[in-house]
Structure 1
Amino acid sequence: MSYSPSIYKFVEGCDAPVPLDLKVIQAVLSPYDVGDPDLTVMEDGGLEYWVRAADGSEAEIFVDQTGIQVERPHSGPGVFAIVAELAARLAAVIFDPSRGTFFCGSEAHAHLPADIRHEAVLIDMTGEAVEAALIGPRSS
């Protein structure tokens, strides 16, 4: 699976994403980081994490001033729970570039620009809901 959902935060209907709270991001991702801590901060000031959830699912996560890119998330609710926690704690949206769709909780939805708000899909910010939104529901 080679897709890269992204996370962005909008405020008060502004068309451009706003800077993210890096302390929140570090607090969420650091416990799951299995990469070299000396390489977390990149030359351009962005952050890079290799996260692994308890269920073994993984993703590379790149953070810059206004966005988080989730590279190659493995199927499994664990890594998607980490993505959901990031979005929820930042009151941000998850963008699926393969479909051009924004997924968000109600708090983030209220702050989206009008054109995005009308097309955004409201979901619960849980690992299972994010995984189902991005790659489809798990088969039993």
Structure 2
Amino acid sequence: MIYKFVDGGEAPVLLDLALVRAVLEPHDVGDPQLTVGEEGGLEFWVRASDGSEAEIFADAQGVVVHRPHAGGVWGIVAELVSRLGAVIIDPSGAVVVCQAEEHAHLPAGMQDDAIVIEMTGEAVEAALLGPRRP
């Protein structure tokens, strides 16, 4: 899950959906007519150049990355997180991954356990899933 926090606030702030579209649309292989849902949410079936894929659902509250494959799709996720100035929260709530710039914006209760990384696909994948085995 991808959320954006500002100034340590407990609640995530609204996301820029135009930016979400700008990052994800070039990689979307789904039906363009289905990109915008009935409630205004966005739906993408994203494929990276290596063939890895993920379903991504977004609304102004946050982004959910569903069934991501190992590989290049994590680079697309990392680009989205970086451009939004957001953080990744593992669905279990056990792991928060962010860049150094976003760490101070996290709620105080999340800062101590957050994993601060360079926002690359490889780093995100390793932080959330562990290192990939050859």
Percent identity over the alignment? 64
Residue by residue over 1:89-110, the C-alpha shift from the partner in whole angstroms, topping out at 9 and shown as x without a partner, is 1110001123621000011112
Residue by residue over 1:24-57, the C-alpha shift from the partner in whole angstroms, topping out at 9 and shown as x without a partner, is 1111101000001110000011000000000100
Structure 2: distance between partners of 1:39 and 1:130 = 28
Amino acid at match of 1:20: L
**Residue 18 in 1 paired to residue 13 in 2?**
yes
Instruction: Please give the TM-score of this superposition, normalised by the length of structure 2.
Output: 0.96
Indicate the RMSD between aligned Cα atoms, in angstroms. Answer: 0.9
Equivalent residue number for residue 26 of structure 2: 31
Secondary structure, counterpart of 2:113 in structure 1: coil
Residue by residue over 1:61-95, the C-alpha shift from the partner in whole angstroms, topping out at 9 and shown as x without a partner, is 0001111000000111x100011001111110001
Instruction: Please give the TM-score of this superposition, normalised by the length of structure 1.
Output: 0.92
Amino acid at match of 1:19: L
Where does structure 1 differ by over 4 angstroms across 4 or more consecutive aligned residues?
A: none
User: Structure 1 99/19 Cα, relative in aligned 2: closer, same or farther at 3 Å?
Assistant: closer
- Which ranges of structure 1 fall in alignment gaps of 5 or more residues? 1-5
Structure 1: distance between partners of 2:33 and 2:79 = 24
Aligned length: 134
- Which ranges of structure 2 fall in alignment gaps of 5 or more residues? none
